């Protein structure tokens, strides 16, 4: 054995070292599950709340709390739709998808 080698590098780990490694292995899946279980913050929530507050300031005296909750739901849905539309990549030559029908009786 060289002087640069430590006795633990050439021999098996001690019971204490083995127990520590075993404990770390046992805790790792629990820690990973706990990290994944945390709900992700909604990035659209601050914008939806700000827009809902704007509606409350402008028209709050005409709306009930239930109606304001529905307005907030609609705002979040529209913001989510806008984010989904932003993900679609269009080329310069892409035509709009529409169908023309003449209103001639």
One DSSP character per residue, 11-53 reads SPPPHHHHHHHHHHHHHHHHHHHHHHHSPPP-TTHHHHHHHHH
Task: Answer yes or no: is 102 within a domain.
Answer: no
Task: Answer yes or no: is 66 within a domain.
Answer: yes
Task: Answer yes or no: is 68 within a domain.
Answer: yes
Residue range(s) defining the domain that contains residue 69: 45-86
Angle between helices 45-59 and 65-86 (to 10 degrees): 140
Task: Answer yes or no: is 19 within a domain.
Answer: no
Compute how many other C-beta atoms are within 10 angstroms of the C-beta atom of residue 20.
12
pLDDT tens digits, one per residue of 64-100: 999 999 999 999 999 999 999 999 898 888 887 777 7
Task: Answer yes or no: is 69 within a domain.
Answer: yes
Task: Answer yes or no: is 79 within a domain.
Answer: yes
Task: Answer yes or no: is 38 within a domain.
Answer: no
When mean pLDDT is compared across 27-31, 55-59, 61-65, the lowest value belongs to 27-31
Residue 80: what pLDDT? 94
Q: Give the mean model confidence (pLDDT) for residues 41-52.
A: 88
Q: Show Cβ contacts of residue 7 under 8 Å, excluding neighbours closer than 6 positions.
A: 1
- The number of folded domains in the chain is 1
Distance CA 63, CA 9 (A): 73
Q: What is the mean pLDDT of the chain?
A: 80
């Amino acid at each position: 054995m060289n002087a640069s080698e430590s006795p633990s590098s050439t021999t098996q780990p001690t019971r204490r070292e083995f127990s520590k490694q075993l404990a770390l292995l046992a805790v790792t899946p629990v820690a990973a599950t706990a990290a994944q279980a945390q709900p992700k913050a909604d990035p659209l929530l601050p914008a939806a709340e700000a827009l809902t507050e704007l509606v409350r300031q402008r028209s709050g005296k005409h709306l009930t709390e239930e109606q304001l909750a529905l307005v907030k739901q609609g705002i979040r849905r529209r913001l989510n739709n806008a984010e989904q539309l932003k993900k679609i990549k269009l080329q310069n030559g892409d035509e709009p998808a529409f169908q023309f029908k003449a209103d001639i009786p």
